[in-house]
Chains A and B, each alone.
Chain A
Amino acid sequence: MKPGTKLKSAVCDTEVMVILGADVAIECGGAPMALERPATGGEPDPSFAAGSLMGKRYVDEAGTVELLCVKPGKGSLSIGGVALRTKDAKALPSSD
């Protein structure tokens, strides 16, 4: 894997674009992601089935990997069994 490439889930519809990071194995629904979706898929592992959301960026705690979800699915993203978290805007608190 390298930045700019797209990875597909083996177990659901999820597709991500790699934004940051190289040569790391990304999993979706507990199964490794690849450039092409395998013909026989299977179901997401229940412990990685929280889903991926369109347009969200997913990062690891160390900040070495960033993925952009370009197609959502039932499986959730992880690296080495550790769930990735979403990267959200750090908005300035405002009140109308």
Chain B
Amino acid sequence: MTQVMKGIRVLEVAQMTFVPAAGAILADWGADVIKIEHPVRGDTQRGFINMGGVKVNPKRSPFVEHPNRGKRSVGVDISKPEGMEVIYELAKTADVFLTNYLPKQRQKMKFDIEHIRAVNPNIIYARGSAYGDKGPERDFGGFDGTAFWNRSGIATAMTPREMVGTLSQGIPAFGDSIGGMNIAGGISAALFHRERTGEALELDVSLLSTAWWAAGTSIDMGIDCGEVSRNRMPTSGGNPGNPFMGNYTTSDGGIINLCTLTPGPHIRNVFQHLGLPEAADDPRFSTAEALMKNWEPASELINAQFARKPFDYWREHLKTMSGQWAPVLDLMQIAEDEQALANDMLFEVEASDGGEPIKLVRGPIQFNHEPVKTTRAPEASEHTEIVLMEMGMDWDRIESLKKVGAIA
């Protein structure tokens, strides 16, 4: 893929998925992303033995690869002054400083914006947080499970009223991955601004702001209308007011989602595809107004039709239907989805355990129709000496920093 960030260096002092995922996107785009990791433990992310309840092999962990591919890892103990001196030296060479450490930690270890700007006034300072860098909870940490999913109101909106409790996020690092892309977008705009004006900005993305934006239409609606939409219990049949909207169960238990929001222009075509050509001439269903009013009997007819044939039949047969629809797939099926693969949604990196290559999902943006070409996530501290020597540090200094445990 066109290396739009070639020549840009990002210094990443961050852990977990949300903020490192921003570094991964920028690395996919060609930036030189230097990831700072604890000299002994590495990124906390490396310790995950379960992911959403599923056991993972820590040597081939998607939790490490997804947010860290294409980076170089330098082991620095940022709690030691000698280690922080190395951070300052690296910051002098960087265009972007990227962090998710809490304000009190940034102050205590002295890598808050004023400390980093003191050594490099032109650096873009990008923060990812749980709840934002202003307000009474700026020093309160969080994960996407807390800030993005539960605190935001999304969990409540996703959960039908009939259910006890709330649905959980279901997909590990779901909010993190969306939020990381938001940070990468912000950094790109900040780099553009610096290019045009010479001014280096600071920027913030929180997991909560990520959720607020994603749920923005509902939040705005709630403020204005006094109520918000909420998931209904799953059923087979049309949505109230529109039988061309809704999930329908096939004879073998598969599900087809109809999503024809404006049914009028599609009435004849949809009924024909569903094997109900006569329904298009039925006065109860022949105009948009009539169909929407009589959604219940239409839904019953459609439901009965879907129940007559299996999922694969419908998936093939509906390809020529003019109304909008989708097969309901799972995340295993999508990995083999022809359309996803045609758009280069997966790419391979070598595995650091020497085994089969690891398949990874690309970021959502593609330049010039070109697939992503990058390298695997680094081993913890893999590039310490290489990066420091490249920066001009001599071996004696490297050794003395190692002796005091400031680097590894």
CB within 8 Å: A-B pair count = 69
Contact with A along B39-65 (1 / 0, CB 8 A): 011101111111111000010000100
> Which label, helix, strand, loop or mixed, suits the secondary structure of the A interface?
loop
B382 in contact with A94 (CB, 8 Å): no
Q: Is the CB of B385 within 8 A of A96?
A: no
| A51 to B389 Cα, complex, angstroms | 27
Interface pair A3/B399, CB less than 8 Å apart: yes
Size of chain A's interface in residues, with CB distance under 8 A? 23
Per the 8 Å Cβ criterion, residues 21-66 of A in contact with B are 51, 53-57
Say if the beta carbon of B378 comes within 8 Å of chain A: yes
User: Would A96 and B58 count as touching, CB distance under 8 A?
Assistant: no
1/0 contact trace for A46-89 toward B, CB 8 Å? Answer: 00000101111100000000001010100000000000000011
Residue of B at shortest CB range from A51?
B354
A residues in contact (CB < 8 Å) with B:
3-4, 17, 19-20, 51, 53-57, 68, 70, 72, 88-96
Q: A4-B389, A88-B379, A94-B47 are in contact. List 12 more A-B contacts (CB 8 A).
A: A4-B395, A19-B385, A51-B354, A57-B381, A89-B379, A90-B40, A93-B49, A94-B45, A95-B48, A96-B51, A96-B53, A96-B173
Taking Cβ atoms with an 8 Å cutoff, the residues of B that contact A are 37, 40-42, 44-53, 58, 63, 172-173, 350, 352-354, 378-383, 385-386, 389, 395, 398-399, 402
22 residue pairs of the A-B complex, CB under 8 angstroms, read: A3-B395, A4-B385, A17-B385, A17-B386, A19-B385, A54-B352, A70-B386, A88-B380, A89-B41, A89-B381, A90-B41, A91-B44, A91-B58, A92-B41, A92-B47, A93-B47, A94-B44, A94-B47, A96-B50, A96-B51, A96-B63, A96-B172
